[in-house]
Amino acid sequence: MFGLGTPELIVIGVIALLLFGAKRIPDIGKGLGGAIREFKDAKKEISSDLSKQGKKEEPKPQASVESKLAEKVVHQVPGVKQVMDVKDKVDKVKEIMKS
């Protein structure tokens, strides 16, 4: 698919195991699976709404759908909330440095 063979996948698996630990990998997988499932459900909901309206154009991005998905990802995937908090702090520091 992406040119990844068995040895490359084994190396990636070992690195993930070392980074996250054996206890956190199932939680991360569960969170990512839930986020993907929610994304697919939202996509189906938007496409069914468009088909009911009889429109064949591309759906416009809706802030409510994106914010719901982002919120669910933050709550389902361990560590994402902490990363988002750090990113917000870095953005604030960058703003202060520009001023």
Provide the residue ranges of all domains of the chain, joining segments of one domain with +. Answer: 6-98
Question: Residue 30: its pLDDT value, please?
Answer: 87
State if pTM tops 0.85.
no
The CA distance from 96 to 21, in Å, is: 37
Question: Residue 59: its pLDDT value, please?
Answer: 53
pLDDT block averages, 10 residues each, the chain of length 99: 80 88 86 86 79 61 67 72 81 86
The predicted-structure confidence for 42-61, as pLDDT tens digits, reads as follows 888 877 777 777 655 555 55
Alpha helices in the chain (DSSP H): 6-20, 24-53, 63-76, 80-98
